[in-house]
Amino acid sequence: MQGWTRVCALADLLPGESRVAWDGDTPILVVNLDGALYAVEDRCTHEDFELSAGSVDAVEGSVECVLHGARFDLRSGHALCGPAYVPVTSFPVQVVDGDVWTRDDR
């Protein structure tokens, strides 16, 4: 799939789990929220720290940065609370032949 980066097999990304894939220099966090897949840049916009080190709240659909507690909506990338006010970039995700794919389409 030209232009897309393979993340993992869908069977390896169960509900509540996440994986990080690299599209060039861009780390992309892919999360399975009850069967729906979402992808955001794996960098907090407040301190440029890996969001993948934080916890995912499946009910809220958010990820929390472990440094200062900023939370981001995994569906849209919007910052949900300070100290982050700038959203993270969200990316498309698709499943093809049992594999999860994403891409940096900026």
| CATH code, domain carrying 51 | 2.102.10.10
pLDDT digits (tens, 9 = 90+) for 25-79: 999 999 999 999 999 999 999 999 999 999 999 999 999 999 999 999 999 999 9
Q: Which range marks the domain in which residue 66 is found?
A: 5-102
pLDDT confidence bin for 1, thresholds 50/70/90: confident
How many domains does the structure of the chain reveal? 1
User: In which element (H, E) is residue 54 found?
Assistant: none
The three-point CA angle 65-104-43 to 5° equals 15
**Pair type for strands 36-41 and 99-102:** unpaired
Residues in Cβ contact with 48 at an 8 Å cutoff, skipping those fewer than 6 apart = none
